[in-house]
Structures are given as C-alpha cells and as structure tokens.
C-alpha cells in the first residue's frame, strides 16, 4: 500500500502594501518606545534635582470669565499643572517610582505590540504566549486605571507637604482623581481582554488547521 505524503504547508504571502504597512507600524512603534524611554530619562534627571511637574485636580473648576467677551459665559478647567522644585529626595521618591513604573509599562506594551507585528509578518500571529501577554496587559491596564489614582494621590500629598503648601488655601487638591488618562487605560484594558479571547480562539483554530495539513 502506497502512502501519499501530505502536501507541505502553504501560507499566502503578504502583499507588498501589507508588508510596507507592517514595516511602517514597526518603525513608528520602535520610535515611540525610544521616545517613552527618553522622556523617562529626562523625568528621572529632573526628579534627582528635586524638580517635577504635578497634575492636580482643581478644587473650583469654574474660572473667572471677566474680560473674555460677552459671548463667553463660563470657563471650565478640571486640572492644574504645578511646576515645583526644591523637593527633597525622600518626598519625590514615591512619585518618581510610580511614574517610572508607568513609563516602563508603556514601553513594554509597545515592545509587545512590535513583537505581534513581527508574528503577523511570519503568518503566525496566534499563540499561547500572545494570548497570555494580552491577558496580562488587560489586567494591568484595568487594575492600574483604578489603583494608580490612589497611588498618585499619596505621592502628590507627600510632595505638597514637603513644600509646606497649605491645601486649605490652594486652588487644587491631592485627592483621588480618575481622569481622562485613567479612562483611556480602562478602555484599553477592556479591549486587550477582548483581543485575548479572540487570540485564544484563533490559537485553537490555528492548531486544528495545522493538524489537518
């Protein structure tokens, strides 16, 4: 009895436009990673000198509209940017540590996305590690969006106390503030969770397809 060998696995090669698009995305992702790490470096240098910028929730969001014109009836702002210097090392340490973790997590997310595009280039986007990676990103983005505001609140309070600022008279507070960035992080976490589920199904279908070839 003659056994007929199975045909070799064939995958449709990417079109030139698709390859160019993936390369472009990889270059942009790589540049963004470098920029994030560069910004982190600048931040740490400034923090080592006791300098930083704080983004604090405004106590009275409504601002004065006098002199803005008769067509303007209200001015609104929800955060105040505070540039500070002369902060002690012990006081700035919690804020610097929190920001460092945030920057490194963003850089790691970009590297993960870069790896995903390379797998797409090879025609093997699915895999258990990719599914697990998306699940981890979903967890960190979701939990981080809820916990980080509390961590930042503590770090801001330490810095403000070190500078001797009277919060009772200040136009800002150091309380828990769930801002736009946290909303984006939460939404990103939800999407990562959905993609993790899709990749789990895709990985299973990919293994089944490989078994049929």
Tens of pLDDT, residues 5-49: 444 444 555 667 767 888 888 899 999 999 999 999 999 999 999
Cα(197)–Cα(152) distance, rounded to whole angstroms?
A: 31
At 158 the pLDDT is 94
Q: Please give the average per-residue pLDDT across 173-201, as a whole number.
A: 88
pLDDT band of 137, cuts 50, 70, 90: very high
Q: What is the pLDDT of residues 142-174, one digit of tens each?
A: 999 999 999 999 999 999 999 888 888 888 888
In the prediction, which pLDDT does 116 show?
85
Most confident range, picked from 7-16, 92-101, 123-132, 165-174: 92-101
CA 11 – CA 153 distance, rounded (Å): 52
Burial class (CB in 10 A: 0-12, 13-18, 19+), 160: buried
Residue 8 has what pLDDT?
Answer: 47
Alpha-carbon distance 116 to 136, whole Å?
A: 15
What φ, ψ does residue 16 adopt, rounded to 5°? Answer: -60, -40
Model confidence at 115, in pLDDT bands (50, 70, 90)? confident
What pTM, to 2 d.p., does this model score? 0.76
């Amino acid at each position: 009895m003659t056994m007929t060998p199975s045909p070799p696995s064939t995958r449709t090669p990417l079109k030139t436009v698709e390859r160019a698009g993936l390369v472009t995305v990889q270059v942009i992702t790589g540049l963004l990673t470098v920029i994030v790490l560069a910004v982190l470096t600048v931040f740490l240098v400034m923090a080592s000198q006791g300098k930083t910028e704080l983004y604090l929730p405004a106590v009275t969001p409504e601002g004065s509209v006098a002199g803005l014109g008769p067509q303007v009836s209200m001015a609104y702002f929800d955060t105040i940017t505070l540039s500070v210097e002369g902060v002690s090392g012990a006081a700035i340490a919690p804020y610097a540590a929190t920001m460092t973790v945030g920057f490194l997590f963003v850089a790691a997310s970009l590297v993960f996305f870069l790896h995903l595009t390379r797998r797409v280039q090879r025609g093997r986007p699915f895999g258990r590690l990719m599914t697990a990676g998306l699940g981890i990103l979903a967890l960190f983005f979701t939990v981080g969006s809820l916990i980080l505001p509390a961590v930042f609140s503590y770090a801001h309070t330490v810095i403000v106390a070190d500078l001797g600022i009277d919060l009772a008279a200040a136009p800002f507070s150091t309380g828990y503030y769930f801002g736009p960035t946290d909303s984006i992080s939460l939404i990103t976490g939800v999407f990562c969770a959905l993609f993790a589920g899709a990749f789990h199904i895709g990985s299973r279908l990919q293994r089944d397809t490989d078994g049929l070839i």
